[in-house]
Structure 1
């Protein structure tokens, strides 16, 4: 409702039409003074200023490894000095991202998000499966006109819920997961490929996937195949993308395009705030 009113929204033509990234990139090639000033700022322990200068360079060129290194080192120093533990964690996590190449996943061992495998194993099956996210190769599945269903049966369970069955159905480019409320025989007749495992094997799979993502060979040997073969299950899984959840498919030029918050490369450097009076007095 307020869009287009200068002063109340980002409607300033000079701001909406600015060419900051392009111009900074040109200046970076012709006048490397900004990188030098950022390095000097870090050397004289002006880490806030060094991080701000490096941020401008990274926005212009996310692949500028020298600027990323300067900003990562500055963030580590700022994190060590931060009094707020949340800000300290922010700085150190952002430094980890900056030290990796653009487009890579800086948290390779958390395919389940930031939830530990022990907690995942303790969550009820229904809630755990509902929390799954899918990266489906929709175009490929639609082109192949795929109609396949995969069944998972957990028996016995440690959560006193009895046996539980689930059906994962892929129809063209659509994925649907449903909990089975009928008998095991009826469930088996509704799926193309089905396997069964006890809960302790499922717990082993969760832990193994957290330590070495995708390397589940030893665990799969403990699975009982009730219908179809492991090769058919692998063919079914080829329609899903195993892209790490913490990194987009291609480098973004802004957090809005990413659809998520990038801690270091695209977020602004927080402003310095004076320390509390009691802390300054103690110093």
Structure 2
């Protein structure tokens, strides 16, 4: 696979570089290529060019980028660095994906795993998750290479077309990294406080059995494989994050629906919410074009 890394040159980018470093340690060298891209936006250039020439600005950005790669992604696998100009960082990263025919993009997020920050995704991550030019992996800033889990890659499915490409992406990554693939479906848990406990438990068991059958049927229909099929009940975001932590997963993968751009602006997607809050890196995968 070919990966673009969104290089921010601020501490929030550390997690993205640590995730890329983890990939270099788990995937054979011949199968991966990593290109770090830092985008110079017009506002930044206008401010800098009042005091320095363009070649000085580019040289300073390139020097800072190489120093960050040496510090946060040591080794010889993450060495390619591009400094580009674009109207916005998300435009520049999307253009880099197209220019290199890359498979996926890695970016950092603002909030750490244990922070209770109101704003958890930066402007660039939010915009990329709206447009999804390719699978986007969002990594908390405090993720360390050695701290990435030794467990399976987990793909979350809602049993519709939005999850098909996500499961394929997860299966490909699980195979390349030598991890098991767990396909997780979170079924609703109906709260019926007016019924007696035994009846509520019977309803929950019946719903779980139905969800397990539905998951098997969906996987077979879509031609997807899984080392383990798992059904949980409750809130999707809470249970997905909890299972990822319990299973020591290095990555949680979720698909995006075919919503129009205006709808994506008005309503946060499940993938965007999970990427903003999860304790592990989250890959949000667009549906097949």
Identify the TM-score tier after normalising by the shorter chain.
under 0.3
TM-score when normalising by structure 1? 0.26
Q: Answer with 1 or 2: which has the greater Rg.
A: 1
Looking at both structures, which has the greater relative contact order when contacts are Cα pairs under 8 Å and sequence separation is at least 6?
Answer: 2
